[in-house]
Amino acid sequence: MRSTMIDFEKTELRLGLPGAGGGGNEGETSRNSSGKRGFSETVDLKLNLNSNSSDGNQVEDMKQKNIIPASADSAKPPTKAQVVGWPPVRSFRKNILAVQKDTTTTDVNKSGGSHMAFVKVSVDGAPYLRKVDLKIYKSYQQLYDALSKMFSSFTIGNCGSQGLKDFMNESKLIDLLNGSDCVPTYEDKDGDWMLVGDVPWEMFVDSCKRIRIMKGSEAIGLAPRTVQRCKNRC
């Protein structure tokens, strides 16, 4: 049946002004301009994707017109080819509709398989927070190094790089937790505050929503399993 076959007329990209060839938009044909101008004929290019695309003239003309071929989104009616500079809309105003759809569904911090995972990092006593992209680090050690550098200007107790490195060493964990040294904690997807370092790195990146570097004395209540594990070992 004809209706189920791909209508090649519609999918063929045409670079032309409306009414000058009826490119895929039924509503426009009734508004066909009465005076077809010579100018519009020179502009009316047919970019037939099946033909040899190395036709020098067409490429030349296309560059001259700076025309961006319309995206082939089968869900929407085919948009017309866009001419650079038209309509005269500033870049920041261009994607209002798309942005509106995004904001109804996503939380700003959700990484969800994308290539960024920005989380806020707060350090008790520091005047401002920072944000880090967890996906640029491959291990807890790299994260600790980066955080130490970032917050080196306000080391709270032993919150410098040594302090965080010691954290890797579970035998020192009890001392840290008992002392006033600082401890990295994070809020996970469920809203619970956990001790950084328990789960494998990838799992941490996926579940971490924000990081807080607390004073050790406050961190006692967290991740009792870890404390228990240390107690069992030592």
Give, as ranges, the residues between 25 and 64 that touch other proteins (CB under 8 A).
25, 27-28, 31-35, 37-40, 43, 60, 63-64
Q: Find the shortest distance in angstroms from Cβ 42 to other proteins.
A: 9
Residue (19 or 179) nearer to other proteins, CB:
19
18 binds other proteins (CB under 8 A): yes
3 state DSSP class of 176: helix
8 binds other proteins (CB under 8 A): no
What does the alpha-carbon distance between residue 175 and residue 230 come to, in Å, rounded to a whole number? 11
| Range list of H helices, the chain | 8-11, 26-29, 38-43, 56-65, 96-105, 140-150, 161-168, 170-178, 201-207, 224-233
* Among positions 82, 155, 207, 226, the unique one binding other proteins when judged by CB under 8 A: 82
- Measuring CA to CA, which residue among 216, 213, 183, 219 is closest to residue 123? 213
* Among positions 54, 57, 74, 103, the unique one binding other proteins when judged by CB under 8 A: 103
What does the alpha-carbon distance between residue 187 and residue 119 come to, in Å, rounded to a whole number? 10
* Among positions 7, 10, 11, 94, the unique one binding other proteins when judged by CB under 8 A: 94
2 binds other proteins (CB under 8 A): no
Residue (28 or 188) nearer to other proteins, CB:
28
Record the tokens describing residue 98, joined without a space. Answer: 């798309």
Q: Which residues pair with 195 in a beta bridge?
A: 185
**Distance (Å) of CA 107 to CA 103, 111, 118, 209, 228:** 8, 9, 12, 11, 35
- How many residues make contact with other proteins (CB under 8 A)? 49
Phi, psi (degrees; rounded to nearest 5) at 108: -55, -35
* Among positions 52, 100, 114, 153, the unique one binding other proteins when judged by CB under 8 A: 100
3 state DSSP class of 15: strand
Record the tokens describing residue 69, joined without a space. Answer: 């071929």
* Among positions 128, 190, 200, 221, the unique one binding other proteins when judged by CB under 8 A: 128
Residue (8 or 128) nearer to other proteins, CB:
128
**Where does this chain bind other proteins (CB under 8 A)?**
17-19, 25, 27-28, 31-35, 37-40, 43, 60, 63-66, 76-80, 82-94, 96-97, 99-100, 103, 127-131
